[in-house]
């Protein structure tokens, strides 16, 4: 069993997080002690409209992410989301959905993350499509009446609390953005250079220390 703990800070609609997804999953599938925190990066003043120039930037960045990581962004995603005249890069529904299943553990939250990534980066679903997120929650076993209330004030407060903890941890290690992978060893928290594992996610397992 691994003696290390890892904390993965992510945002479902962050292209670089999608690029690092195989690394996330390699850690999780190894049986390591993993905690996941949705940063909720894209909200409020940091939720730009694609038509205001953000789309052009993302197209270029997605190409770079694909080249470095092997993760693919579909044409329908580029057309329906990135080139949209109305799309806003707002990850609020995904953050609320993550908060709704957070207490069920990292496996459940990342199973949901994979569903939402597929909806966005493959199927080209809008970030503003609450019903799509609700359906993803139901597919993960969440009761429909609970899923449809993902933006209830109590869950909104929970999502904010998770995001704030992520912010504090990032500040602690001097991380400027997501994804951020932290390794907790002997009560010391260090940031992992996840970019070293792009295209070779299994190599992150070299960080694991096992006990007899």
pLDDT tens sequence across 110-167? 999 999 999 999 999 999 999 999 999 999 999 999 999 999 999 999 999 999 999 9
Q: What's 146's domain CATH number?
A: 3.40.30.10
> C-alpha dihedral over 117, 123, 127, 129, to 10 degrees?
-120
Average pLDDT over residues 30-55: 96
Q: In which residue are the tokens 């609970």 written?
A: 146
How many distinct structural domains can be found in the chain?
1
Predicted model pTM:
0.96
Distance between CA 137 and CA 199 in Å, rounded? 29
Q: Is residue 53 part of a domain?
A: no
Q: Is residue 212 part of a domain?
A: no
Domain of 189, in residue numbers: 5-43+90-207
């Amino acid at each position: 069993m691994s003696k290390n703990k890892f904390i993965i800070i992510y945002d479902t609609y962050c292209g670089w997080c999608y690029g690092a997804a195989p690394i996330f999953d390699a850690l999780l599938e190894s049986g390591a002690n993993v905690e996941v925190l949705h940063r909720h990066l894209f909200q409020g003043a940091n939720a730009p409209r694609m038509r205001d120039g953000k789309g052009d930037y993302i197209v270029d960045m997605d190409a770079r992410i694909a080249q470095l990581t092997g993760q693919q962004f579909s044409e329908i995603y580029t057309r329906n989301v990135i080139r949209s005249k109305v799309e806003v890069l707002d990850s609020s529904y995904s953050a609320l959905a993550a908060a709704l299943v957070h207490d069920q553990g990292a496996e459940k939250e990342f199973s949901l993350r994979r569903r939402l990534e597929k909806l966005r980066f493959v199927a080209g679903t809008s970030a503003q499509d609450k019903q799509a997120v609700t359906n993803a929650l139901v597919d993960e076993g969440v009761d429909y009446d609970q899923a449809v209330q993902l933006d209830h004030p109590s869950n909104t407060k929970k999502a904010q609390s998770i995001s704030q903890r992520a912010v504090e941890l990032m500040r602690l290690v001097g991380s400027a953005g997501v994804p951020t992978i932290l390794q907790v060893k002997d009560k010391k928290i260090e940031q992992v250079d996840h970019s070293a594992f792009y295209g070779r996610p299994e190599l992150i397992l070299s960080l694991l220390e096992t006990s007899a």
